[in-house]
Chain A
Amino acid sequence: MRIGEWLKVGVEVARSVAASVVSGAPAMGRLAVGDAAPDFALAGSDGKIHTLAEHRGQRAVVVAWFPKAFTGG
């Protein structure tokens, strides 16, 4: 292989590594089971501000994230 071809291979490898870093484990790497859940204060559709802290010591909290309103839930 000529140098140019080796460079192309190197670029492809770098690209795929970068892609796997970007697509993989953004959550599991940073926030794992047993970690303290980050607090939040967010406006709810019921007009109230909801925080995680208000439930601590009282009850479990489930937060179901979804991509976009009006697109199937």
Chain B
Amino acid sequence: MAYFAASVDTPEDNTRFAAQVGADYPILADPTKETARAYGVLGRAGVANRWIFYIGVDGTILHVETSVPTASVGGDVAGQLSALGVAKR
């Protein structure tokens, strides 16, 4: 499984942010908001909603988690992957 965080911040901001939170996963930068728009994740404030997209090996959307607690950066990703039958590799 490949895990990413993503926001519409600049690569520079996300690189500093990743260092600050000690992220062991890449934080993707989408400053043009093109990808955020394509995924429909852009909120009214012009930034991404706190949603998690689960994409299958075949490249299709398996699940979209739209109620992610602020405190948990990644939400219950491990539990969700298990529920979806996705191997954690």
Q: Which residues of A contact B (CB under 8 A)?
A: 22-23, 26-38, 40, 42-48, 50, 52-53, 55-70, 72-73
A23–B23 Cα distance when bound, in Å, is: 31
Find out whether the CB atom of A37 lies under 8 angstroms from the CB atom of B59.
yes
Interface of A is mostly: loop
Residues of B within 8 A of A33 (CB): 60-64
Find out whether the CB atom of B51 lies under 8 angstroms from the CB atom of A65.
yes
Find out whether the CB atom of A56 lies under 8 angstroms from the CB atom of B58.
yes
Query: B47-88 vs A: 1/0 string, CB under 8 Å?
Result: 111111111111111111010101111110100010000110
Asked whether A28 and B13 contact (CB < 8 A) given A64-B73, A65-B7, the answer is no
Residues of B within 8 A of A37 (CB): 39, 53, 55, 59-61
A67–B73 Cα distance when bound, in Å, is: 11
A72–B58 Cα distance when bound, in Å, is: 32
A22–B50 Cα distance when bound, in Å, is: 17
Find out whether the CB atom of A40 lies under 8 angstroms from the CB atom of B35.
yes
Find out whether the CB atom of A69 lies under 8 angstroms from the CB atom of B53.
no
Find out whether the CB atom of B18 lies under 8 angstroms from the CB atom of A45.
yes
Residues of B within 8 A of A28 (CB): 40, 64, 66
Residues of B within 8 A of A34 (CB): 60-61
Asked whether A65 and B57 contact (CB < 8 A) given A44-B4, A46-B26, the answer is no
Find out whether the CB atom of A43 lies under 8 angstroms from the CB atom of B51.
no
Residues of A within 8 A of B11 (CB): 43-45
A55–B54 Cα distance when bound, in Å, is: 13
Find out whether the CB atom of A50 lies under 8 angstroms from the CB atom of B58.
no
